[in-house]
Structure 1
Amino acid sequence: MTSLRDILVSGIRRIDAVSPALTGRVANVAFFATTRQMRVRDSDRVTHDAARRESIRIGGHDVVTYQWGAGARAALLMHGWDGRASQFATMVRDLVAEGWRVVAFDAPAHGDSSGRRTDARDWVAAAQRLAASEGPFELVIGHSFGGFASLAAVREGVQARRVITISAAGSVQAFHDEFERMLRLSPRASEAFERAFHRRLGISREEGIARFDSVTHPLPPEVELLIVHDEDDPRVTIENAHALHRAHGERARLLVTQGLGHNRILGADRVLDAVIAFAADGPHGIDRADASEQRGVRGA
């Protein structure tokens, strides 16, 4: 059976042969679109339904927020593109059991929130709004695109002592490169796509790097970082994790897993143990963990 991806690639390649500029514009529309296919999994339903739900207005959309627990320490969780907050259900249960109050949201055009298109600015705006009403957050955790957005949010003023990224990249260009590879864009179409991207955001490429590139512009020096990534992640390559690690030096730790892919990594025992250890005591918590459980964790 032909997949939607194959159809998209075939259609865009045909346009590319005639007009790379038009291809870039079409690719830009596709880049910001979401599938909205993800439903709450049966295994996550009880945790999802137990949340205290509210709604905030972000970018003209009703954004559904979730909260669990009543601890003094607060953590913010940010899901990825085409994801939803319920993906964190196992992590939510573990954090609440450790005394954390956990806050999350479905980004516009995702989960139970309204909208058809979104971008990183909405993730950052939601994080800022929740930091003002539910923070300050000691911990921010982001998966995939949510990890990228969590880095940007903390760099833009969301208070956090520690950040954990899972299956994430630290730059816009990393997502562009993957998208352009998937669509097999020609060099001219890639240039047109990136021009259209920056026009949509109303910023120059240089302004985009300054605002969203956490490799070139790392987190504030007092913020500690745990980077979790599978070595064979099919969607965001492991080099993105290494780049983030190098950029943040001794205050960062890198946990590399095997065989967990891009999404299953969220519920893996080894990852959950590392999250709890880092949440409690930052890099020292990781360093003190049992060596047999921490193969693949490296300091700077």
Structure 2
Amino acid sequence: MQKIIKFIVAKLLGLYINILSYTRPAKASRLAYKFFSEPRSGRLIKDQLPDILKEAETEIITHKDSVFQTYTWKGTTDCKVILVHGWESNASRWKLFITYLKKAGCTIIAIDGPAHGLSSGTEFTIPRYAEFIDIIVQREQPQYMVGHSLGGSTVLYYQSHFPNVSLQKLVIMGAPCDFTMVVDNYIGLLSLNRNVFTLLNKHFLDNLNIKTEEFSGRLFASKIKVEGLVAHDEDDTTVAYSEGKKIADAWPQSQFISTKGLGHSMHSDELYTKIYSFLFD
């Protein structure tokens, strides 16, 4: 019943935005972008953090008009790894993987993305997320970075736009390749018309300097010089399996891991063992 209600609400919202696109296009553009960029879940409550985050040293960092939250699990070696979660998630999604990283003695740093976890804001964008990452990378000089879903897309964007010599290996899990795919999924979910599609693309260009057809993981990956591991699940119903293949095919120094039965979350002891081996063996 809840799924049916969400479906009806999405279609009614889309119908309203479609009508506005003819009568009040500016408002239609604002509404379409608002529901596209604002996560509906993934927030955390400071006094009710998951146990894995309570174990970490926490820090709030101010950047421009934003603050973002970081969590650090101190290691016993000079090795450092940054973990980058995806859409409607937060740093606690790495609970299982953190147990593997601790075996390597690494210092582990996880970030709450814009409008997620304990970080500020209502709007999520990959460029802003990449700015958060750059602050940590410049300060900590990590050797490794791991990203899931849109966090993986952000890692690709980051290393292609802010190439950092400290990074030696990157891991991308369940990430969309083409921004056009993300937009098309949103358009389909709300059944938005061509007018709204045009308005959204104009908003991305005018406000974020993003040309949707050029904002591509393939393009980002093709510029990356460090080693990469791309993992994607055949049964991912959120991001098509082919998206991961496109990223790996464009990345000269990458290898691809195919999984089955994990869905989009990709939590698996077997997969995390393979990622551990890639990073540290």
Q: Same fold (TM over 0.5)?
A: yes
Alpha-carbon distance in structure 2 between the residues aligned to 1:18 and 1:134: 47
**Correspondence 1:75-224 to 2 at 5 A:** 75-135=81-141, 137-159=142-164, 160-201=167-208, 203=209, 205=211, 209=214, 212-224=215-227
2:277 is aligned to 277
| 1:74 corresponds to 2:85 | no
Contact map agreement 1:167 1:262 (CA 8 A) in 2 = yes
Secondary structure of the 1:229 match is: strand
Letter in 2 for 1:145: L
1:227-246 alignment, distance < 5 Å: 227-246=230-249
Structure 1: segments with no counterpart, 5+ residues: 282-300
Q: Summarize deviations over 1:68-113 as a string: whole Å, max 9, x none.
A: 1322111111011111011001111211111211111111211112
Percent of residue pairs identical: 23
In the aligned structure 2, how far is the partner of 1:61 from the partner of 1:24? 24
**What is the alpha-carbon distance in structure 2 between the residues aligned to residue 158 and residue 204 of structure 1?**
19
Tell me the number of residue pairs that the alignment of Structure 1 and Structure 2 aligns.
270
Distance 2:113 2:42 in 1: 14
- CA shift, 1:225, in A, is 1.2
Contact 1:154/1:219, CA 8 A, preserved across alignment? no
**Equivalent residue of 1:103, what SS?**
strand
**Structure 1's 23 and 77: CA in aligned 2 closer, same or farther, altered over 3 A?**
same
CA contact (8 A) 1:232 1:259 kept: yes
The farther-off stretch of 160-169 and 29-38 is 29-38
Q: Distance in 2 between matches of 1:246 and 1:133?
A: 32
* Counterpart code for 1:175: V
TM-align CA RMSD = 2.2
Could you tell me the TM-score, scaled by structure 1's length?
0.82
How far did residue 15 of structure 1 move?
3.5
Displacement of 1:57 in angstroms is 1.1
- Which ranges of structure 2 fall in alignment gaps of 5 or more residues? none
Distance 2:96 2:199 in 1: 41
CA contact (8 A) 1:127 1:158 kept: no
Worse-matched range after superposition: 168-177 or 9-18: 9-18
Tell me the alpha carbon deviations over residues 240-284 of structure 1, each in whole angstroms, 9 at most, x when there is no partner: 1111111114x2111111111112x1x311210111011124xxx
Task: Tell me, in whole angstroms, the C-alpha distance in 1 between the residues paired with 2:150 and 2:7.
Answer: 19
Provide the rounded CA distance (Å) in 1 between the counterparts of 2:67 and 2:168: 29
Give every structure 1 segment of 4 or more consecutive aligned residues whose post-TM-superposition deviation is greater than 6 Å: none
The Cα of 1:188 is off from its aligned counterpart by: 2.9
- Quick one: structure 1 residues 8 and 58, their matched pair in 2 at CA, closer, same or farther if it must change by over 3 Å? farther
Q: Secondary structure at the match of 1:215?
A: helix
The one-letter amino acid of 2:51's match is V
Q: Is the 8 A contact 1:128 1:158 kept in 2?
A: no
How far apart are the structure 2 equivalents of 1:221 and 1:236? 22
What secondary structure, in the 3-state scheme, does the structure 1 residue paired with 2:196 have? helix
1:272 partner amino acid: Y
**TM-score, structure 2 as length reference:** 0.87
CA distance in 2, matches of 1:32, 1:204: 14
Equivalent position SS for 2:251? helix
Q: Structure 1 pair 113/198, CA: closer, same or farther in 2 (3 Å)?
A: same
Asked if 1:247 corresponds to 2:254, the answer is: no
